[in-house]
């Protein structure tokens, strides 16, 4: 089985303060100085794929690929993925001019083209959220472009007993769905409880990972003309920080008891009655 996990790294948003959210006239936010982290859903997807591939009895027959569309800053992460035993680390570089933040159609075209033309994988794992645009559409669109079935909000995947199929668990509104499915398949990964974090490589593995080459591809390598990427079903016309309407009243008091009293008598007693 050949598995590809498509991932994004993001600025570590909780590190940012109100004044850091400045949008320029080109609708860009300068986050170049902020440390990047794996998107949390993608991180779960990356670990899930490793477990599916390496912890089963068919480990030798599995091949794992980590794939990201990004500039060279992502290479650090891709080599880290080599260190945790990904077989291949691939980066698609579209150059600085192409803005893919709000273009999941183009992102899915690049991913699907890689899988079809070069990678040849049968199983795609992809986090449910996407990059800075939070588009939440890339996984669905990859499935459409490949013409493969797709399961969303996946929380676990294990080989089925006969090993012909996969057993996929996903969340539905108010329910948990378990499906036995064949390949090929796209899985959109949600909140994976069992193993949300990527494993930690040893020093030796890190060193080995650093020596490996990340495969860098351009759209042309995927037989995609630049025009095909600029086409989009939508156009970003504004990006802004929402004003918070509430004015928080800070309750003063000697101690917690005083504050709790004020909270109850001045604010909650009536409201609790409904």
> Where in 37-76 is the site for other proteins (CB under 8 A)?
40-41, 73, 76
Nearest distance from C-beta of residue 133 to other proteins, angstroms: 5
- 207 contacts other proteins (rule: CB under 8 A): no
**Residue choice 24, 161, 178, 211 for contact with other proteins (CB under 8 A):** 178
Long-range contacts formed by 22-27: CB under 8 A, 24+ apart: 23/239, 23/240, 23/241, 27/236, 27/238, 27/239
- 171 contacts other proteins (rule: CB under 8 A): yes
Q: How far apart are CA 9 and CA 43, in angstroms?
A: 9
- 163 contacts other proteins (rule: CB under 8 A): no
- 1 contacts other proteins (rule: CB under 8 A): no
Nearest to residue 264, comparing CAs of 113, 273, 247?
273
Burial of 269 (0-12, 13-18, 19+ CB in 10 A): exposed
Are the CB atoms for 54 and 35 separated by under 8 Å?
Answer: no
- 235 contacts other proteins (rule: CB under 8 A): yes
Are the CB atoms for 145 and 165 separated by under 8 Å?
Answer: no
Nearest distance from C-beta of residue 261 to other proteins, angstroms: 7
- 197 contacts other proteins (rule: CB under 8 A): yes
Taking CA 108 as the corner, what is the angle to CA 190 and CA 27, rounded to the nearest 5 degrees?
90
Nearest distance from C-beta of residue 90 to other proteins, angstroms: 19
- 175 contacts other proteins (rule: CB under 8 A): yes
Nearest distance from C-beta of residue 42 to other proteins, angstroms: 13
For residue 160, give Cα distances in angstroms to 164, 196, 219.
Answer: 7, 21, 36
Q: How far apart are CA 86 and CA 81, in angstroms?
A: 6
Q: How far apart are CA 98 and CA 86, in angstroms?
A: 28
Nearest distance from C-beta of residue 68 to other proteins, angstroms: 14
**Residue choice 144, 159, 212, 216 for contact with other proteins (CB under 8 A):** 144
**Residue choice 67, 140, 157, 222 for contact with other proteins (CB under 8 A):** 140
Nearest distance from C-beta of residue 92 to other proteins, angstroms: 20
Residue 9-28 contact track with other proteins, rule CB under 8 A, x = bound: -x-xxxxxxx--x-x-----
* Stretch touching other proteins by CB under 8 A, among 35-43, 58-66, 110-118, 215-223: 35-43
């Amino acid at each position: 089985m050949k598995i590809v996990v498509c991932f994004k790294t993001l600025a570590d948003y909780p590190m940012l303060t109100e004044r850091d959210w400045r949008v320029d006239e080109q609708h860009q936010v300068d986050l170049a100085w902020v440390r990047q982290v794996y998107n949390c859903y993608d991180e779960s997807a990356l670990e899930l794929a490793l477990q599916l591939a390496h912890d089963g009895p068919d480990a030798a027959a599995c091949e794992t690929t980590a794939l990201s569309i990004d500039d060279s800053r992502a290479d650090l992460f891709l080599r880290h993925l080599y260190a945790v035993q990904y077989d291949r680390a691939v980066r698609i570089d579209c150059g600085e001019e192409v803005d893919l933040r709000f273009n999941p159609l183009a992102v899915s075209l690049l991913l699907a083209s890689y899988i079809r033309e070069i990678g040849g994988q049968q199983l795609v794992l992809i986090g449910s959220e996407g990059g800075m645009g939070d588009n939440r559409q890339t996984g669905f669109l990859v499935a459409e472009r490949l013409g493969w079935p797709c399961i969303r909000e996946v929380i676990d995947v294990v080989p089925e007993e006969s090993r012909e199929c996969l057993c996929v668990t996903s969340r539905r509104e108010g329910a948990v769905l378990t499906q036995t499915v064949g390949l090929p398949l796209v899985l959109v990964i949600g909140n994976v409880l069992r193993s949300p974090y990527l494993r930690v490589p040893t020093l030796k593995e890190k060193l080995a990972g650093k020596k490996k080459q990340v495969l860098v591809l351009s759209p042309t390598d995927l037989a995609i003309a630049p025009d095909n990427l600029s086409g989009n079903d939508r156009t970003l016309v504004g990006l802004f920080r929402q004003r918070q309407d509430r004015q928080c009243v800070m309750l003063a008091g000697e101690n917690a008891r005083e504050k709790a009293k004020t909270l109850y008598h001045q604010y909650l007693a009536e409201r609790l009655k409904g």
